[in-house]
Structure 1
Amino acid sequence: MLKHQTVGQVVREAAKAHPATEAYVYPEHGIRKTYKEFDQETDHLAKAFMGMGIEKGEHVAIWSDNKREWLQSQFATGKMGAVLVTVNTNYQENELKYLLQQSDATTLILGEEFKGTSYISIIQALCPELEHSEKGELVSDVLPHLKRVIVMSEKDYPGIFTWSEFEAFARGVSDDQLNSRMKALHFDDVINIQYTSGTTGFPKGVMLTHMNIVNNGQIIGDFMNLTHEDRLCIPVPFFHCFGCVLGTMAAVTHSTTMVIVEQFDPKKVLQAVQDEKCTGLHGVPTMFIAELNHPDYESFDTTTLRTGIMAGSPCPIEVMKKVIHDMGASEITICYGQTESSPVITQTRSDDAIEKRVATVGKPHPHVEVKIIDPVTMEEVPAGVPGELCARGYLIMKGYYRNEEATHAAIDIEGWLHTGDIAVMDEDGYIAITGRIKDMIIRGGENIYPREIEEFLYQHPSILDVQIVGVPDPKYGEELMAWVILKDGEMLDAEALREYCKGKISYHKIPRYIEFVDSYPMTASGKIQKYLLREMSLDKVEAEAK
């Protein structure tokens, strides 16, 4: 059964069922709070938002790493009905300006800085009017909707509320007023706007409802067999669906303890798993790779791990096997989806055979319809034939904020979301993602899926990570280029790697170009930006041709 609940009701339910269970732990700061305390904290913050004059449906942007204030704000806005607009931690001035303008945000909550970037300096540059504004009464030429800026600290900046000044607004709002506001919310209201990573064009604001994210979180946690006795380590960023749906929402819907790492660091994650006896761990493949290859990995005890999620980009089979066998996360699951589907469409089950868990992204969730179509004819294809994956159900976004054209391009007249991903369904209903439609490489009339070649090359003992992209070629239309990261201390050259491929994969699948690098261009949520790799590949090939 789907839940017809708001985000706020989920917190209330968890606090009522398991008041003494720890809701969250911040090991780096020695902070731990029970679900009863978390419910009280989020009530207090919900009243503060109301006391500031923020109405139901008003847009509140939040910009920081995984701070406690972020977590509290997610569920406090869920109680009083403001729409939380999540901001990528890597954003710079122009990107922030675009998001705040496009989202019509009236309020911005921000940390002071992130990895050397001063968020305060950026907002001051965007809104010089802050210098002479009364707090809460900003009038900005560039951001006409923005009225209030709140910082997650007690340092005083002109025109910006400190956190305690913000919290003080709660005093003017009664319990009855908050309860009335909570009753006025509907499960089908938009409660969250997440901006797509913008790998092509400008980012689009995905409008998600209580219904979308509460149920997606519930089902994700069900598939992980989460209970109030589990402790889930969350090092993935909150601003992304991975953090705030697969992470916090999946946990709260099951009264599970959230063990939170503010910024990903492999050693801090391993320390948290050991010290807090975590039973679950989330991460994108690059995070698990970093943890498994940390020089001190062997000194940490991860035997309490049982479950978790590896998602965000295709999961290398060899890495998955190590997470199961070396880390001990025997029930770890793979999830697949996108922000527009809030986000999970398919997931492996904890009792699936390892072959299914390493070679597929599982089966569709309950209450979700999936079909695979020929992207040219739009006709459904039979099992075993690649095509575009489409999904329909409760999980599909309301649309892109103020962008009807893009909404209609993504969701057809029958309500199917067209994902743009190439997938194959087997006879048992398990789905394998073989790439993005735009990532498919056509060499001499042959369709080549980068994932297949990447999986093969992962088996080379010297290779830590590998990405395959296509580059233009006058003879074949496209050729393959491999970007390879080697394990520490390993040596390998292009010719030796090609020799390794001969006789094992088809000649046309052996990369013509091979580059060795130390890292890939990444989004803040840990996704590899293949479009940037394609641009880099083109530059390399053109430079060599001169």
Structure 2
Amino acid sequence: MAILDKEKVSVIYGTPTMHADVVYRASQLSEEERRTKFATVDYVISGGASISKQLMKQLHETLGLKKSICAYGMTETSPATFMAQLNETGEKKCYDTVGYIMDHTEAKVVDQNGRVVPFGTAGELLIRGYCNMLGYWEDEQKTKDTIGPDRWLRTGDQFILTSDGYGQVVGRMKDLIIRGGENIYPLEIEEFIQTHSDVLEAYAYGIADERMGEEVGISIKLKENAKLNVDDIKAFCKGKIAHFKIPIESVTVANALS
């Protein structure tokens, strides 16, 4: 917030989590203080994860924004492939879409059999263009699973494409958890939790969270007579895995029987 005054910031770029924090901090100010603090801010750009329509509206109302821009992409596509335009008008396109397909980029939405679906129909988004990566480092199988021989890259995201080139994220077809714009792979957490001497099996999943987008939850099957709670799990993880990957919720499904 101090930088806004010092640098006279005109654009705020960040993930939905960062924007939620800005809204919270701004809400602590008086209307006059907000007007002064954000006087130079013309618009915000949001990326890294899907931003809710509600948060976007809060940004506009709290900061008095003139514009807001959403972008969509992934590391594998360098990253942005859709982005709202500065001259965009209309609440629906500003709040409900991730913008317009980028230049020199192809996009299509397919069903589970790989057939292109009609505009306005949900399916998996595929991207092709100069922006696509060549492949995963030293992981030929994952590269083949992600990029076809025709160079179409599977995003794993459920998506709707409109006839005028705008896109809307519906959900994810893979189990990736996105917490505050950070990508978290459940298997990595599961394998780590299962190194605990009292844990037999573990299953990681995403929990909806207003601020972070998602938090990490873990369901565990304990060994016979073992007892663990969420504080024990947090203590076990602390300093061993990234802080944003530590589960906030732990559910014991059952204890193993001898």
State whether structure 2 residue 134 is matched by structure 1 residue 423. no
In 2, Cα distance between the equivalents of 1:483 and 1:429? 29
Aligned to 1:280, which of 2, 8, 11? 11
Q: Scaled by the length of structure 1, what TM-score is found?
A: 0.32
1:321-341 CA-to-partner distances (Å, cap 9, x unmatched) read: 122232133222100000000
In 1, Cα distance between the equivalents of 2:160 and 2:252? 32
In 1, Cα distance between the equivalents of 2:210 and 2:67? 28
In 2, Cα distance between the equivalents of 1:336 and 1:405? 26
Aligned to 1:400, which of 121, 136, 139? 136
In 2, Cα distance between the equivalents of 1:385 and 1:541? 39
Match of 1:433 in 2: 169
1:306-361 CA-to-partner distances (Å, cap 9, x unmatched) read: 13311111101111112223213322210000000000010111222221111111
Aligned to 1:355, which of 89, 92, 95? 92
Larger radius of gyration: 1
Compute the displacement of 1:541 (Å). 7.1
Aligned to 1:540, which of 236, 251, 256? 251
State whether structure 2 residue 33 is matched by structure 1 residue 322. no
After superposition, where does 1:7-406 map in structure 2 within 5 Å? 270-294=1-25, 296-298=28-30, 299-300=33-34, 301-352=37-88, 353-374=90-111, 376-406=112-142
1:125-148 CA-to-partner distances (Å, cap 9, x unmatched) read: xxxxxxxxxxxxxxxxxxxxxxxx
In 2, Cα distance between the equivalents of 1:414 and 1:388? 16
Query: Structure 1: which 5+ runs fail to align?
Result: 1-269, 441-480, 487-527
State the SS of the aligned residue for 1:399.
Answer: coil
State the SS of the aligned residue for 1:332.
Answer: strand
In 2, Cα distance between the equivalents of 1:541 and 1:394? 47
State the SS of the aligned residue for 2:171.
Answer: strand
In 2, Cα distance between the equivalents of 1:439 and 1:360? 22
Query: Structure 2: which 5+ runs fail to align?
Result: 177-205, 212-243
1:280 and 1:329 in contact (8 A); partners too: no
Compute the displacement of 1:412 (Å). 0.7
Amino acid in the other structure paired with 2:122: P
Cα RMSD for the two superposed structures:
3.0
Match of 2:228 in 1: none
Q: Scaled by the length of structure 2, what TM-score is found?
A: 0.65
1:372 and 1:380 in contact (8 A); partners too: yes
1:307 and 1:331 in contact (8 A); partners too: yes
Are the structure 2 counterparts of residues 384 and 541 from structure 1 closer, same or farther at C-alpha, using a change threshold of 3 Å? farther
Compute the displacement of 1:436 (Å). 0.8
RCO higher in structure (CA 8 A, sep ≥6) = 2
Compute the displacement of 1:365 (Å). 0.4
Match of 1:119 in 2: none
Compute the displacement of 1:435 (Å). 1.1
In 2, Cα distance between the equivalents of 1:432 and 1:351? 19
Amino acid in the other structure paired with 1:275: K
Match of 1:40 in 2: none
State the SS of the aligned residue for 1:323.
Answer: helix
In 2, Cα distance between the equivalents of 1:412 and 1:323? 40
Compute the displacement of 1:483 (Å). 4.6
Compute the displacement of 1:395 (Å). 0.5
Identity over aligned residues, as a percent?
A: 29
Are the structure 2 counterparts of residues 423 and 484 from structure 1 closer, same or farther at C-alpha, using a change threshold of 3 Å? closer
In 2, Cα distance between the equivalents of 1:438 and 1:338? 14
In 2, Cα distance between the equivalents of 1:482 and 1:397? 30
Amino acid in the other structure paired with 2:12: L
Are the structure 2 counterparts of residues 321 and 296 from structure 1 closer, same or farther at C-alpha, using a change threshold of 3 Å? same
Give the aligned length: 191
Compute the displacement of 1:364 (Å). 0.7
In 1, Cα distance between the equivalents of 2:59 and 2:108? 31
Match of 1:414 in 2: 150
Compute the displacement of 1:373 (Å). 0.6
Give the structure with the larger helix fraction.
1
Give the structure with the larger strand fraction.
2
